[in-house]
Amino acid sequence: MTLLNLLETLLVIGMLGAALFVVRTRDLLAAVVVTAIISLVAAILFYVLQAPDVAITEAAIDAGLTTAIFLVALRKTERYEK
């Protein structure tokens, strides 16, 4: 188990925790912010697995575009889940 494996394990556990948080929380804006963290960790994991094309697509689409679309949807609906 090298140090890089340890880092990957930490990142995967963080990703799982973030996904659980997104499902459980009632504040949808917080869910959007934590979704940005999930895409960040996914980009690092693709990078560590040496898939730079996938990492760059993940960074471009998931970090910027998805967040903007979610925010517009939130603006048109409610911020807090009933």
Partner 1 sequence: MTRRVLAILLLLILAVALYQALARVPFGTDRMAVSRYYLDHGVQDLGGVNIVTSVVVLYRGFDTLGEVTVLFLAATGLGALLHGLALHDEKRRRTKTPPSLIMRTATRILFPLILLLGAYVFVHGHLTPGGGFPGGVVVALAYLLGFLAHDHWRVNHRAVRWIEGLAGMTYVIIGLLGLYLAGSFLANFLPPGTPGRLFSAGIIPLIYITIGFKVGSEMTGLLSEMKEITE
Partner 2 sequence: MIPGWLWILAYTLIGLGVLLGLLRAFLGPKTPDRLVAVDALVTITMGLMVLLGLWYRRGIYLDIALIYGALGFIATLAIARYLEGGL
Return d(Cα 23, Cα 4) in angstroms, integer.
Answer: 29
Return d(Cα 73, Cα 68) in angstroms, integer.
Answer: 9
- 29 scored as a contact of partner 1 (CB under 8 A): no
Which is closer to partner 1, CB of 10 or CB of 60?
A: 60
Burial degree of 48 (CB within 10 A; 0-12, 13-18, 19+): middle
Answer for which of 5, 12, 16, 52 binds partner 2 (CB under 8 A) is: 52
Instruction: Count residues near partner 2 (CB under 8 A).
Output: 37
Answer for which of 24, 75, 81, 82 binds partner 1 (CB under 8 A) is: 75
Answer for which of 7, 12, 57, 79 binds partner 1 (CB under 8 A) is: 57
